[in-house]
A = this chain, B = another copy of it.
Amino acid sequence: MRKLIALFAAAALAVCSLSAQELANFAMGGGQRIVSPEVKDGKVTFRLSANYATRVQLSGNWMANPWTGTEEMTKGPNGVWEITLDAPEPEIYTYNFIVDGVAVNDPLNDKVQRDGTRYLNMLFIPGERSENYYEATKHGTVTYRWYDSPSLGISRRMTVYLPYGYEDNPKQKYPVLYLLHGGGGDEEAWTSMGRAAQIMDNLIEKGLAKPMIVVMPNGNPNQRAANTLGLETITLDRNNPATANAYVTSLVKEIVPFIEKEYRAIPKAESRAIAGLSMGGGHTTSATILFPGVFGYICPLSCGIRDSDHLDSDLQGIKKAGYKLYWIGVGKEDTGAYNGSLILDEALTRNGMPHTLYVSEDAHVWKNWRLYLNTFARLLFK
Which A residues lie at the B interface, using CB under 8 A?
4-25, 28, 48-55, 67, 99-105, 107, 110-112, 114-119, 124, 134-135, 137-139, 141-146, 155, 157, 167-168, 182-185, 225, 227-231, 241-242, 244-245, 248-249, 262, 277-279, 281-283, 285-286, 289-290, 302-306, 308, 310-311, 314, 334-337, 339-340, 343, 364-365
Asked if B99 and A12 sit within 8 Å, CB to CB, the answer is no
Known: A13-B305, A24-B67, A184-B21. A119 touches B124 (CB 8 A): no
Contacts of A11 in B (CB 8 A): 244-245, 248, 282, 286
Partner of A155, one of B139, B142, B145: B139
**In the complex, which of the residues B9, B50, B144, B364 contacts A142, with contact meaning CB atoms closer than 8 Å?**
B144
B308 adjacent to A15 (CB under 8 Å): no
A–B pairs, 5, beta carbons within 8 Å:
A13-B305, A14-B304, A14-B340, A17-B334, A52-B100
Q: How far is the CB of A333 from chain B (nearest CB, A)?
A: 11
Contacts of A248 in B (CB 8 A): 11
- The answer to whether B135 and A141 have CB atoms under 8 Å apart is no
Residues of B within 8 A of A7 (CB): 241-242, 244-245, 249, 290
Which residues of chain B have C-beta atoms less than 8 A from A343's C-beta?
A: 15
Closest 6 CB pairs of A and B: A14-B282, A22-B184, A52-B101, A21-B184, A15-B340, A21-B116
Structural contact, B119 and A112, CB atoms closer than 8 A: yes
- What is the CA–CA distance of A107 and B343 in the complex, to the nearest angstrom? 39
Q: Which of B116, B124, B302, B340 contacts A24 (CB 8 A)?
A: B116
Contact residues in B for A182 (Cβ distance below 8 Å): 16, 19, 21-22
B13 A285 Cβ-Cβ under 8 A = yes
Question: Is B28 touching A117 in the complex (CB atoms < 8 A)?
Answer: yes
Contact of B278 with A51 in the complex, beta carbons under 8 Å: no
Output the least CB separation between A302 and chain B (Å).
7
CB atoms of B102 and A53 under 8 A apart: yes
Instruction: Say how far A248's CB is from chain B's closest CB, in angstroms.
Output: 7
Instruction: Decide: B117 and A303 in contact? CB cutoff 8 A.
Output: no
Within 8 Å by CB of A184, from B25, B51, B112, B142, lies B25
Q: Which residues of B contact A48 (CB under 8 A)?
A: 102
A137 to B334, CA, bound (A): 41
Shortest A55–chain B CB gap in Å is: 8
Which of chain B's residues have a CB closer than 8 A to the CB of A145?
Answer: 141
Q: Which of B51, B231, B281 contacts A101 (CB 8 A)?
A: B51
Among candidates B17, B55, B143, B278, residue contacting A143 with C-beta atoms closer than 8 Å? B143
Q: Which residues of B contact A340 (CB under 8 A)?
A: 14-16
- B residues near A117, Cβ cutoff 8 Å: 25, 28, 107, 110
